[in-house]
Structure 1
Amino acid sequence: MSKNRVIVEAVLAGRSHAAVAEQYGISKVWVGKLMARWRTGGLEAVDKRSTRPKSNPNAIDANMTAVIIALRHELANNGHDAGARSLWDYLTLQGHTPPSITTIWRILTREGLITPEPRKRPRRTYLRFEADLPNECWQSDFTHHKLATGRDIEIITWLDDHSRFALHISAHPRITGATVLHTFTTTITTHSMPASTLTDNGLVFTTRHRGGANAFERELTILGIEQKNGRPNHPQTQGKVERFQQTLRKWLTQQPRAQTLEILQHQLNEFAQYYNHERPHRSLSGATPHQKYTARAKAQPQNNNDGHWRIRTDKVDIAGHVTLRHASQLHHIGIGLEHAGTRIRMLINDLHILIINIETGEILRDFQLDPTRKHQPRGIKPGPKKGTPRQGGMPKGYKFKK
């Protein structure tokens, strides 16, 4: 039984309004109102009533609610982001005057269109960074996708850090160092050179932790482009391209599964057009990546190229050679059979190589590496040096007896 009914029952039992008001800590006016309700509608009329207003001039129009729900279904079915912020951006582009993002979220929640997600680390705890200019930094990474035949395909992306503009997306049977170099050089012919690149530590991007530079790193050095690599096991450093790949994979799952590599590439081209030119980007305040990429002058490489320097210690093999890896290619350098087993130190500056005997300090070779040749000969003709005594045989000028 509610408190209001108890108050009415106490009055009906013969107690005065003042006594009931004093007993239950209420005013006599309120006791009189409850009794008036009882007289017109009985005990049901004295129960607590809803405080909701009969009308709300700020309520969302039913037509707008229907538009929000329809747009949500359309975007989700096409594999696009369809959160409250994305819906707000799309409604604005379509000429509507949408309600606040929070109101849109409440509408989606009321309609059961919000998928519960596990609690994540708060956004405020992340250290965000963004390049100040287009082409100041390009991020790159690759992801996997299966064709309808079950064949695994790898998709590489080059993404502008400042604008999130997808500079290049292509599908390949397998991403190799040569693939990275080819896609990079193809991209710079269209969008000019970046000031720097940011990738993970995959071998297709860097081999410096193995004591040398691969072909992609050599190209960056030649062009004067700074190379940056994220910390191992910390993909958040390349968060923009990682998030882009999530959006790409979500879109691909809603498309017909491609039968061939060519069909998949056609789908990727279609996605790039939509992502760069049509899709409002949340981190860009609703602008498209193309609008942000073309809004300002592009950064250029600083050309502070001091070359590639390193020191390597090795031992001459029994054939008189040492090996050196340059631009992912292994080169054999001739030292001479007479130095087999000798420990040497190689001083390397780009293509210039100086080889020194560690024990004596003697310079064994000083030359420029020829990247087109696997074997780097000493340039000495085969056979003994001029003036060296012959080994065995008849002395020079010997005449046989008749």
Structure 2
Amino acid sequence: MAIPLHKRRKVADFHPVRDGKTVTQFCKELGISRQTYHNIKSRIAQKGRAGIVPDSTAPKNPIKKFDEADKIAVVHARQELMEQGLDYGPWSIYYFLVDTVGPDSTPSRSTIASWLHELGFVDANARKRPRSSYKRFARDLVGELWQIDGLVYRLFDHAHTHVTIYQIIDDASRFDVGTTAFALPENGTDARAALAAAFAAYGT
């Protein structure tokens, strides 16, 4: 609990010999602990009378306040990602803004998600199907079916370079028959090249 200024001033002015009472007696009368007394005296010894006033409790790095213009920037970023045919979820919007306006002017992912929900851009999640309704299509034998998947990954370099990773997995064994990265966005040519390399390595 903060000690009122009038009590802090009394501590600053108190002297055991001059006032004819012990520190313990003085603290009991003032309703403070001896530790508090010594803390205040120590501050005054270091800072003079200015030490009577306690330090500010405000955070040294206050949370950045965002305004309506920042919300509009989030909506515009979402629209631009949609028009490019890219993912436009909170993480995608976050990285888009980091690249365009810089990290200092970009709200957190949770703030972006909250704004999207507030503005009505988030659809309520439909009830998930029970797992018992899923039909397993996994093959029983190795080599019957390969699955290929493409994903975009951001490198940890200065430019945050995007690469597209194609992963090809055998359905029965879950063995990775070919993981390859390309510099271009996902496209049929690179996907076929990844498959051709897997065929060359493991046959058809």
Q: Which has the larger radius of gyration?
A: 1
Larger RCO: 1 or 2 (CA < 8 Å, sep 6+): 1
Higher helix share: 2
Higher strand share: 1
Instruction: State the TM bucket, normalised to the shorter chain.
Output: 0.3 to 0.5
Q: TM-score, normalised by structure 2?
A: 0.36
